[in-house]
A and B are shown apart, each in its own frame.
Chain A
Amino acid sequence: MAAPSTDPSKPLKEARPDKGLRTLTGAQILWDALEEQGVEVVFGYPGGAIMPAYDALPGSSIRHVLVRHEQGAAHMADGYARASGRVGVAVATSGPGATNLVTGIANAMMDSIPIVCITGQVPSTLIGSDAFQETDFTGVTLPITKHNLLVTRAQDIMPAIKQAFYIASSGRPGPVVVDITKDAQNQSCEYQYDPSPVRLPGYRPDRQPLPEELKEAVEMIQSAKRPIIFCGHGIVRANATSLLLEFVHKTNIPVALTLLGLGGFPARHERSLGMMGMHGEAWVNTAIQEADLIIALGMRFDDRVTGNLKTYAPNAKKIHVELDPAEINKNVKVDLPLLGDVREILRQLVPHVERAACEEWIAHIEALKGDSAVRDIKDLPDSGQLFAAHVIHDLWRYTEGRALIVTDVGQHQMWEAQYYKHDHPRKLLTSGGLGTMGFALPAAMGARLACPDDEIWVVAGDGGFQMTAAELATCAQENIKVNIAVINNGFLGMVRQWQQFFYGGRYVATPIKSPDYVLLAQAHGLKGLRVTQRSEVRAAVEAARANAETTIVDFRVEQEDSVYPMVPAGADLHNMIRRPKPEIKSAPHNPIFETGDDE
């Protein structure tokens, strides 16, 4: 297993020389304190209340990426954090600059991503006066941040930045906002960086299970007949992939993955079942419903994973390994919670577990897969139609499964999860909890700065891509190279699919027109290509990889294709809408074939 791209436990660089006590402005202190946290790049947009900070930026070693909209800055910081395991940083001014960050902050909160957002605030003397561009930003972000701070004095800036990075990155990570008034940026004060650890009496991010709880877990694992492991985002965040591999090698227990867990366990491993939940393959969800033990590692039983809670995994005892005590018994009642860092808990469990007696169970799950492979759409002969599944499958093949993929939200996101087989952690970045359209392009740009050597592909729908396409100009200005696959079906595809299934086929406000993506790319000084046939996919992928500039490939795919299988929202996990039977495959507008088992 390849090591994660960065080990967050190692300091980014050597401790900096102590520059001693000196007089600095709050703005200078801000950049110095950020450098001390190891920050190399920030994503931002200047404006009135943050201008003193920008004025001091040239004195710093930190690179600034000028975005086109602050939402892009927050997503770039998010993508940077997901790809690297470090803290991403976004900067914005007060008022509209700050509120434009909100979607990106909420996105990072839902997916537990460590980002720090630094916002300017009107001078402290004007707070509460409805001053120009004043917004109560700590108030606005209170429910969507792990913590936030309002700083009104220069001498409080460095401790606030230290706290923000510590809180964002420790325990269950999350976004932290530091709102700094303009007068605090302008004031001067005596300053010396304080390298001592942050002390917060009410903040206890570290937890450990009791030895008897671990013993009980081992007993439950050894006595199970139909056990299943859930690999969640926590495995990725905790860099616990190699320990999970050891655990599976010893126990032979099959692994199902959440969307954000993909890559946390290699897709091509023989015990990997694939993604669970709303668009998980039928055999995965069926296995969950039949299991007698669930070992949930770093996941939170989201409603997209469980379906109807009343009928969810009714026969299974549940072990929940989780860092956040507030997640225990939130959605699913568990039999044994193990509170703590999933890597540490796996480390303690691995020496005590033995091969589980589950050969019959594994054979049963294999049988559930049925003849899906022969009917899988990706393996069918080229009929002249281009399906999104073809594009994703071929992208996987031609990038040898090694690319870092950043997806947007919708049908293409689910096809990506189904057809791009991720074997390494931090190689799929996607907006899971909040489901934020427009995430992909800016997040990929952030990932590019974290991982300069990776091949990076944006996979986005034509709807979501248009939401943040303005960041193409940022790509051009900052020489940020990513490859972009627009899965263009002329619809807001997932909403259209729901309209087809649940709203009588009334396509209200879902047909969507796109600009000419080839011309759009050219207008930015970038490259654009168009693909309408499966036979053209390979050449386009290779051309995009070869280009030095960001390249958009406009894949004109089947318009009314749907993602299968599908568990309707709130339905029982085993009651999936299956792929229609193969005999209707010749119908002109029904490009739908089995990949799951049939009824």
Chain B
Amino acid sequence: MSTADPPLRTFVAYVEDQPGVLNRIASLFRRRNFNIVSLNVGRTQTPGVSRMTVVVEADDDKARRIEANLYKLVNVLSVEDITRSPNIVRDLALIKVFAPPEKRSEVLQLCQVFRARAVDVGPDTLVVEITGTQDKIIGLLTILEPFGVLEMVQSGTVAMTRGSISDAARAIRDTSNRGIAAA
């Protein structure tokens, strides 16, 4: 990890899995003029609890205010800014590239270098799945562009700290142990 102030901050937030919660969070970012770079939300191992990864452009002050404002939402259970913790950050991308039979093996070889894999083959196309950081995905994309990228989709960033359980996750585990999360 770089020690310089990163322009991008990664937050992990545990939220109640209820209708409108994503809207509340998106509305908060819009209202406070915080620019979302990436937002991912999905279920966790705890029923009724979703986990979000939000990547935002923010300096230290703004990052603190984002965290404080997220905590003001009643449905937000815990928040952690994991930017400076050792962490694993991943995006998943599917890239549909123009690959007629004569180009196919060349494309596949290049994909191997990036540890991407082909998940679909059409008469003139390949769909490639790649998992990694944004840098890695952009690297592959740059290499594939000369062949003709027909479509592309990305998942949004998901992130997790390395090592033992993170503060945000511990907060959830502790509340569910007390039987409150289900209330």
Residues on A lying within 8 angstroms of B by beta carbon are 138-139, 142-143, 146-147, 150, 167, 199-204, 324-326, 328-330, 333
Residues in B neighbouring A333, C-beta threshold 8 A: 61
A180 to chain B, nearest CB (A): 16
Q: 5 A-B contacts, Cβ less than 8 Å apart?
A: A146-B72, A147-B74, A201-B16, A201-B181, A204-B71
Q: State whether B68 touches A326 (Cβ < 8 A).
A: yes
Q: State whether B183 touches A199 (Cβ < 8 A).
A: yes
A142-B27, A201-B181, A202-B16 known; A329-B77 Cβ under 8 A: no
Residue of B nearest to A144 (CB): B31
Whether a CB of chain A sits under 8 angstroms from the CB of B2 is: no
Q: State whether B68 touches A202 (Cβ < 8 A).
A: no
Cα-based distance from A143 to B64 in the complex (angstroms): 20
Q: Mask for B19-51, Cβ within 8 A of A = 1, else 0?
A: 010011001000100000000000000000000
Residue of A nearest to B48 (CB): A201
Residues in B neighbouring A330, C-beta threshold 8 A: 65
Residues in A neighbouring B183, C-beta threshold 8 A: 199-201
A138-B20, A330-B65 known; A202-B74 Cβ under 8 A: yes
Residues in A neighbouring B61, C-beta threshold 8 A: 329, 333
Residue of A nearest to B20 (CB): A138
B172 to chain A, nearest CB (A): 8
Cα-based distance from A324 to B181 in the complex (angstroms): 23
Q: State whether A142 touches B24 (Cβ < 8 A).
A: yes
Residues in B neighbouring A150, C-beta threshold 8 A: 20
Q: State whether A202 touches B69 (Cβ < 8 A).
A: no
Q: State whether B69 touches A326 (Cβ < 8 A).
A: yes
Q: State whether A202 touches B20 (Cβ < 8 A).
A: no
Q: State whether B68 touches A325 (Cβ < 8 A).
A: yes
Q: Which one of B16, B27, B74 has the highest number of Cβ atoms from chain A below 10 Å of its Cβ?
A: B74
Cα-based distance from A204 to B175 in the complex (angstroms): 12
Q: Mask for B55-77, Cβ within 8 A of A = 1, else 0?
A: 00000010011001101111111
Whether a CB of chain A sits under 8 angstroms from the CB of B4 is: no
Q: State whether B75 touches A202 (Cβ < 8 A).
A: yes
Cα-based distance from A138 to B74 in the complex (angstroms): 14
| In the complex, the 9 A-B pairs of residues with the closest C-beta atoms, listed nearest first | A326-B68, A325-B68, A202-B77, A199-B183, A201-B180, A201-B175, A147-B74, A326-B69, A143-B31
Q: State whether B180 touches A143 (Cβ < 8 A).
A: no
Cα-based distance from A142 to B27 in the complex (angstroms): 8
Cα-based distance from A143 to B73 in the complex (angstroms): 11
Cα-based distance from A200 to B64 in the complex (angstroms): 23
Q: State whether B31 touches A203 (Cβ < 8 A).
A: no
Residues in B neighbouring A199, C-beta threshold 8 A: 180, 183
Residues in B neighbouring A142, C-beta threshold 8 A: 20, 23-24, 27
A228 to chain B, nearest CB (A): 25
Q: State whether B65 touches A329 (Cβ < 8 A).
A: yes
Residues in B neighbouring A203, C-beta threshold 8 A: 74
B71 to chain A, nearest CB (A): 7
Cα-based distance from A488 to B14 in the complex (angstroms): 55
Cα-based distance from A77 to B24 in the complex (angstroms): 25
Q: State whether B65 touches A326 (Cβ < 8 A).
A: yes
Considering the complex, which residues of chain B in the window 111-167 have a beta carbon less than 8 Å from any beta carbon of chain A? none
Q: A201-B180, A326-B72 are in contact. List 17 more A-B contacts (CB 8 A).
A: A142-B23, A147-B74, A200-B74, A201-B175, A201-B183, A202-B15, A202-B16, A202-B74, A202-B76, A324-B68, A324-B72, A325-B68, A328-B64, A328-B68, A329-B61, A329-B64, A330-B65
Residues in B neighbouring A329, C-beta threshold 8 A: 61, 64-65
Residue of B nearest to A143 (CB): B31
Q: State whether B71 touches A325 (Cβ < 8 A).
A: yes
B25 to chain A, nearest CB (A): 11
Residue of B nearest to A172 (CB): B72
Q: State whether B23 touches A201 (Cβ < 8 A).
A: no
Cα-based distance from A204 to B73 in the complex (angstroms): 10
A513 to chain B, nearest CB (A): 38
A199-B180, A329-B61 known; A167-B74 Cβ under 8 A: yes
Residues in A neighbouring B76, C-beta threshold 8 A: 202
A137 to chain B, nearest CB (A): 12
Q: State whether A202 touches B23 (Cβ < 8 A).
A: no
A142-B24, A143-B27, A329-B61 known; A201-B77 Cβ under 8 A: yes
B65 to chain A, nearest CB (A): 6
Residues in A neighbouring B74, C-beta threshold 8 A: 147, 167, 200, 202-203
Q: Which one of A142, A146, A202 has the highest number of Cβ atoms from chain B below 10 Å of its Cβ?
A: A202
Cα-based distance from A533 to B140 in the complex (angstroms): 83
Cα-based distance from A333 to B64 in the complex (angstroms): 12
Residues in A neighbouring B64, C-beta threshold 8 A: 328-329
Q: State whether B73 touches A202 (Cβ < 8 A).
A: yes
Cα-based distance from A201 to B14 in the complex (angstroms): 11
Residues in B neighbouring A138, C-beta threshold 8 A: 20
Residues in A neighbouring B77, C-beta threshold 8 A: 201-202
Considering the complex, which residues of chain B in the window 66-98 have a beta carbon less than 8 Å from any beta carbon of chain A? 68-69, 71-78
B29 to chain A, nearest CB (A): 11
A106 to chain B, nearest CB (A): 12
A135 to chain B, nearest CB (A): 15
Cα-based distance from A102 to B7 in the complex (angstroms): 37
Residues in B neighbouring A325, C-beta threshold 8 A: 68, 71
Residues in A neighbouring B72, C-beta threshold 8 A: 146, 324, 326
A143 to chain B, nearest CB (A): 5
Cα-based distance from A150 to B69 in the complex (angstroms): 22
Residue of A nearest to B60 (CB): A329
Cα-based distance from A328 to B69 in the complex (angstroms): 11
Cα-based distance from A147 to B65 in the complex (angstroms): 19
B78 to chain A, nearest CB (A): 8
Residues in B neighbouring A167, C-beta threshold 8 A: 74
Residues in B neighbouring A147, C-beta threshold 8 A: 74
Residue of A nearest to B14 (CB): A202
B109 to chain A, nearest CB (A): 49
Cα-based distance from A138 to B175 in the complex (angstroms): 28
A172 to chain B, nearest CB (A): 8
Residues in A neighbouring B20, C-beta threshold 8 A: 138, 142, 150
B47 to chain A, nearest CB (A): 14
B82 to chain A, nearest CB (A): 19
A184 to chain B, nearest CB (A): 15
Residue of A nearest to B66 (CB): A326
A124 to chain B, nearest CB (A): 12
Cα-based distance from A200 to B18 in the complex (angstroms): 13
Residues in A neighbouring B175, C-beta threshold 8 A: 201
Residues in A neighbouring B65, C-beta threshold 8 A: 326, 329-330
B27 to chain A, nearest CB (A): 5
